[in-house]
Amino acid sequence: MKYRELGNTGEKLSAIGLGCMGMTHAYGDRDDAESIKVLELALDLGINFWDTADIYGPHTNEELISKVLAPNRDKIFIATKFGFLAQKDGERSFDASPAYAKKAVEASLKRLKVDVIDLYYAHRIDPTIPLEEMIGGMADLVKEGKVRYLGLSEASAETLEHACKIHPIAALQSEYSLLTRDAESQIIPACRKLGIGFVPFSPLSRGLFSATLPTDTNEFKADDFRHSIPRFSGEYYENNTKLAADFASIAHDKGCTPAQLALAWVLAQGDDIIPIPGTKKTKYLKENAASVDITLGDTDFKAIETVVKKYPNTGPRYTEAAMSMVNK
């Protein structure tokens, strides 16, 4: 495994992190035994950057991870997130107030079975309170020794600038992949200016670039949240499966898997970028880890861009309701 520094923290993290959400949340059936094998294999492969959140499950993701995290605490840089609350009607509310942050961190510490969380993200920017209040409450957790570093998720460049004046921000997590490149114009430059690590989630576009998805979304499990994502419906999904097939041909010619090529592209966008592809299968973890050894040249980049431009009708990454929670 190769390693990269997280922003200005000096922390050496695996260039490929591990997104743990799908082990208990959003992508169909659980297989805890296999997930435990994935976590143990991650240690063997040197993948020391693990990402979760209290809403995943809810709560079950942190509990599952703890089984491998707690006995191997010194080998893992653990990141979790707070803010979303699951409601009885299946909907979510959001609260990143200092009072709730204090309550949430205690619960996460207990579920993870650790004394301190390495990186604690606000899952979104709370629009109901001043940023000073929100970041100030998170900063108190650092002062109390419950959290080492603070992170934000889906925050704008302007918000990042403001937040850093209140307390250092170690990382920004946002969706970034060949199909989701909004961050390139302002957010990634802001991270570099401010010394903030950029952590892309869904670097494989929710599995589109894995070349393992069915052409008919009816084959997804009923509880697979991709049913609610525009890119996985109608004309958008028809477009995207064609894109993925052409992309897979480039990977084949390159001698790697489509997932490896997609991750190699993300990694090539800067040494300060640490993607966290998710998986709950050892086969795909090995595949993802090997992407750090793939080097792309000008010919590769041109071929990739040609395919992406050939299929522009990719669709929005979220519904309008979900996008309303993305800070702009």
Single out the residue of 68, 74, 2, 83 nearest to residue 35, CA to CA. 68
Sign of the torsion angle spanned by Cα atoms 139, 140, 143, 146: negative
- In the predicted structure, residue 35 carries a pLDDT above the cut 80: yes
Instruction: Look at residue 300 and tell me if it is in a domain.
Output: no
Instruction: Look at residue 98 and tell me if it is in a domain.
Output: yes
Instruction: Look at residue 21 and tell me if it is in a domain.
Output: yes
Instruction: Look at residue 162 and tell me if it is in a domain.
Output: yes
Mean pLDDT for the chain overall: 95
* Distance in angstroms (rounded) separating the CA atoms of residues 153 and 327: 9
Instruction: Look at residue 236 and tell me if it is in a domain.
Output: no
Q: Output the pLDDT for position 319.
A: 87
- Long-range contacts formed by 218-225: CB under 8 A, 24+ apart: 220/28, 221/27, 221/28, 221/29, 223/28, 224/26, 224/27, 224/28, 225/26, 225/27
27, 56, 120, 311: the catalytic one is 56
pTM here is 0.96
Contact present, 293 and 213 (Cβ < 8 Å): no
Q: Give the mean model confidence (pLDDT) for residues 107-126.
A: 98
Single out the residue of 131, 135, 127, 130 nearest to residue 101, CA to CA. 135
Q: Output the pLDDT for position 219.
A: 82
Q: How many domains does the chain have?
A: 1
pLDDT band at 213 (very low <50, low <70, confident <90, very high): confident
Q: What is the pLDDT of residues 120-135, one digit of tens each?
A: 999 999 999 999 999 9
Least reliable range by pLDDT among 29-33, 43-47, 194-198, 249-253: 29-33
Instruction: Look at residue 222 and tell me if it is in a domain.
Output: no
- Between strands 12-14 and 3-5, the pairing is antiparallel
Q: What is the pLDDT of residues 2-15, one digit of tens each?
A: 999 999 999 999 99
- The CATH number assigned to the domain holding 73 equals 3.20.20.100
- The burial class, CB within 10 Å (0-12 / 13-18 / 19+), for 93 is exposed
Q: Output the pLDDT for position 205.
A: 95
Q: Give the mean model confidence (pLDDT) for residues 106-114.
A: 98
Q: Using a pLDDT cut of 90, give the percent of the chain over it.
A: 88
Domain carrying residue 205: 3-211+260-294
pLDDT band at 81 (very low <50, low <70, confident <90, very high): very high
pLDDT band at 90 (very low <50, low <70, confident <90, very high): low
φ, ψ dihedrals at 79, nearest 5°: -120, 135
Single out the residue of 38, 28, 107, 110 nearest to residue 70, CA to CA. 110
Instruction: Look at residue 274 and tell me if it is in a domain.
Output: yes
Task: Confirm whether 149 is a catalytic residue.
Answer: no
Q: What is the pLDDT of residues 284-294, one digit of tens each?
A: 999 999 999 99
Single out the residue of 158, 113, 111, 120 nearest to residue 139, CA to CA. 120
Instruction: Look at residue 219 and tell me if it is in a domain.
Output: no
Single out the residue of 193, 189, 123, 117 nearest to residue 155, CA to CA. 123
Q: Give the mean model confidence (pLDDT) for residues 186-198.
A: 98
Q: Output the pLDDT for position 46.
A: 98
- In the predicted structure, residue 328 carries a pLDDT above the cut 70: yes
